[in-house]
Structure 1
Amino acid sequence: MYDEQGRMLYHPDFHHNQGKRFTDEETAYLCKFYATDTLKSLSLALGRLEKSLAYRIAYLKKTGLIDYYRSKWDRQMNA
C-alpha cells in the first residue's frame, strides 16, 4: 500500500527499525547516500519509512550535521 505521494506505508517486514532511534551508523549511511540514491531504496536499506528519512535529512540540514556524518561514514570505511 502506498500513500497519495507514492510512498510505501508502514509494513513490519520492510520497516523493522521504524520507531527506533537512529544510530550514528544509520545516520552516516543516510548522509552519505541521500544525494545519490532514492528515498525508496534508502528506506528499504535502513528499514524505515521514506517520510521519516526525509524528516531526518531536513533536521540534519537545519543543524548543519550532514557533512559531519558524511565524513564519519568515510572515516569508518577507511578504517
Structure 2
Amino acid sequence: MGARIIQDARDGFIIDNLGRIKYHPDFHENHGQKFTEDDLCYLAKFYKHDGRRAMSFALGKTESVIQNKYADLMKRGLIEHYKNMEHYI
C-alpha cells in the first residue's frame, strides 16, 4: 500500500499520510542542498521546541528531510555537539 497523499486546499500544500508537507518550491528553497554547520546547530537547538514544520520553513527543506536529519544526528550522538556550538543564523 503506497503513501496516501492529500492536498490542503487552504494553503495549496500537498501533505503525505504522516502529515508532512511535501516539497513546495516557494517554501523549500534549500531543497537538495547540503545542511550547513549553522543549519545543524539550529536544528539541534530548536527541533524539540519548534517541531519539524517550523524547522522546515526556517531551514527551507522538507519536513521529511528535517525529521530524517534530526534522527540521524540522534543516532550518531551529535545532538549535544551541535547544541553546544555557536551559530550565526
Match among 12, 22, 26 for residue 9 of structure 1: 22
Q: Which structure has more RCO (C-alpha within 8 Å, separation ≥ 6)?
A: 1
Give me the TM-score of the superposition, normalised by structure 1. Answer: 0.88
Report the Cα distance in structure 2 between the residues aligned to 1:71 and 1:43, rounded to whole angstroms: 21
Unaligned runs of 5+ in 1: none
Runs of 4+ with >6 A deviation: none
State the superposition RMSD in angstroms.
1.2
Q: How many residues align?
A: 75
Aligned equivalent of 1:29: 42
Query: Between Structure 1 and Structure 2, which shows a larger proportion of strand residues?
Result: 2
After TM superposition, give the deviation of residue 76 of structure 1 in Å: 3.8
Identify, as 1 or 2, the structure richer in helix: 1
Larger radius of gyration: 2
Q: What's the TM-score once normalised by structure 2's chain length?
A: 0.79
SS in 2 for 1:35: helix
